[in-house]
Chains A and B, each alone.
Chain A
């Protein structure tokens, strides 16, 4: 249900050794074309596919166009090409270049070339929304045709992309038309946004997923917060990107929210008391700007840079089975952050991934036991 995040083919801060310490790592990892497109020649010469190249030969791989963490500049989609940004600058891709790159990568799934810019601007014109759907369908048909002709891509699955901005009519058209094509799944693009637009977009989301076949996975990009994830699951989404734990890590924070919707009464009391205190503190110190992740801190986490953790010898989260919580204390993480040591990112990433993957495990359990409402209520109480 979730994709493990990579940056340039590697989990952020983590080597396979430290990644393997994490429990419940998803079977499928996300790669981004924005970090790999410029290395297309090397991969083509390598011949054995990106999975082996990055040292993850056993993992299932999904290749998205963009990096969910770094937004790319708008205005670079044309009728013939889409651009991504790597370290070396802009890489412009026509359908044939895009497919050539995918041929070198040989991922298990890949997002089809698409026009995602209808959702970028504040108010989308109907005309722009229509164009995003038309272009994306044209790209899809061309990519499917090229895939048929490519031996190397026979085992890869193309994920069709649902576009259409905020225009209901266009969204429905996109869904219906894309569903007619032989795609392996659907990416719901452009549904992310601030709390203002979220309500409208969630409504849009329900209508869209209603048009999609039940037996193919629905992915959504740029939605990763626990509360938003649950809203999307209720509206028919299956797969999510895991960039939220990465953003939390980059701002020196640790996920602490509870997802245990059937705890014993004693635990509830202890946790509630803890959560209350932390929520109070969070309201006072909400805005944290870090390089590259200009996001506000949420109430799902604690900020280890705060002085109060200097002498706190508890683990990040009591009862957490991650390497960091099993071996280290809040005081130690605080020290590493204050002294700008690299290990801070490593340990926080290990905890935040494990905590987040644990959350998804609880979602699956809740769905199985028909208790999603309880889980949702628990998360809602902890959202700011």
Chain B
């Protein structure tokens, strides 16, 4: 079911991304996404609000932090509360009262994360619900149908996801199936004018398979591409090479969304490699374990060393938590049963990620991205030369040296 692609049909496809600046050394770009619920500056980090909530923080708090796009999850929302109810509530935007953009994942990743509950066939993924034991089939058509009901601004194709640690014929099978499923998603998509369907490049850690997938999927006229199947258990060395291979072959004028990437170092390196959009549960999840993200790494605030530390988490941080509270107070609160402790850290960690992306973008626009990278690595590792090998090599591959 390969869609024939002619140059004219590709050129006439709507472009949702406007490039504002490009780094002259690396592949980094600064841009702006034009989405139904407003513009989004890129590179962008998208916090993950799986079940129609950004954990303990309100829509107003998230908006105040400057977030303009976040994630919801089709698998979870499809089960609870279900697409019919959300449709009645005027879509996911209406249901959770989020005025800005939403991106929904297709449910594909749950195939990997909930593998004991799932079975993949050409038809789709058969899941057994952990809540009531009922079986559901998540097909490309069903995934798109749910996402059409959710009304998110960006929807993802259902892909056949295998863990990056898997080798052998299963990887190839999944890659080709993902292409077929992409075509089925495109065909089933009822609302191409209101919702942007992104393809997801698969192929595991095999350069040849990735290349094949890229060649095929870029023939399809979709508004954007995601790089999937990475940020699992693979080595960073393999990881960056697959990202670089992908960005080299993805069209320049469409957004590149690297799924599941959220550690600060990874974000900076992958921006250098040419990625525009990122999502990860890490910052919000680690907050709920009492860990605050800072330019030098993280602070485990439950530890005794913070008992009498009266400084804010980061004196340079503009977030409400850092403006009002000290590490010592957060330490006390984290050892109590008041959930407010978690919310303070969630606010801060999201602020950290968004502020980081903002700083990255400014450096690209102001033509000093390589210097920014050097300074970032210096702060994070004590010295740019102490940056992890994989990152040094990845940056070198796009013309940024750290020494």
**Residues of chain A at the chain B interface (Cβ within 8 Å):** 7-18, 21, 35, 39, 42, 45-46, 53-55, 87, 292, 310-311, 313, 323, 327-329, 331-332, 335-336, 338-339, 341-343, 345-347
Contact = CB atoms under 8 A, between A and B. Distances in A.
CB-CB nearest 3 A-B residue pairs: A8-B336, A342-B56, A55-B324
B97 A328 contact: yes
A11 B340 contact: yes
Interface in B19-53: 51-53
B320 A16 contact: yes
B71 to A, nearest CB: 15
Nearest to B309: A42
Contacts, number: 122
Interface stretch (B132-140, B222-230, B327-335): B327-335
Contact of B336 (A7, A17, A21, A53): A7
B189 interface: no
Contact of B329 (A55, A343, A345, A346): A55
Contacts of B89: 313, 329, 331-332
B52 A323 contact: no
A338 B97 contact: no
Contacts of B343: 13-15, 18, 342, 346
A331 B342 CA distance: 25
Interface of B: 51-61, 64, 76, 80-81, 85, 88-89, 95-97, 307-308, 310, 320-321, 324-326, 328-329, 332-333, 335-344, 347
B332 A42 contact: yes
Contacts of A53: 326, 328-329
A335 B308 contact: no
Contacts of B55: 341-343
Which one of B96, B308, B336 has the highest number of Cβ atoms from chain A below 10 Å of its Cβ? Answer: B336
Nearest to A21: B60
A132 B57 CA distance: 45
Nearest to A70: B337
Nearest to A350: B58
Contacts of B51: 335-336, 339, 341
A347 to B, nearest CB: 7
Contacts of A292: 337
A346 B333 CA distance: 16
Contact of A8 (B61, B321, B333): B333
A87 to B, nearest CB: 6
Which one of A310, A327, A336, A343 has the highest number of Cβ atoms from chain B below 10 Å of its Cβ? Answer: A343
Contacts of A12: 338-340
26 contacts: A7-B337, A8-B332, A8-B337, A8-B338, A9-B332, A9-B333, A10-B338, A12-B338, A12-B340, A13-B340, A15-B61, A15-B320, A15-B343, A17-B347, A18-B58, A18-B343, A46-B328, A53-B326, A55-B325, A311-B85, A331-B95, A335-B52, A335-B80, A335-B95, A339-B76, A341-B51
A290 B81 CA distance: 23
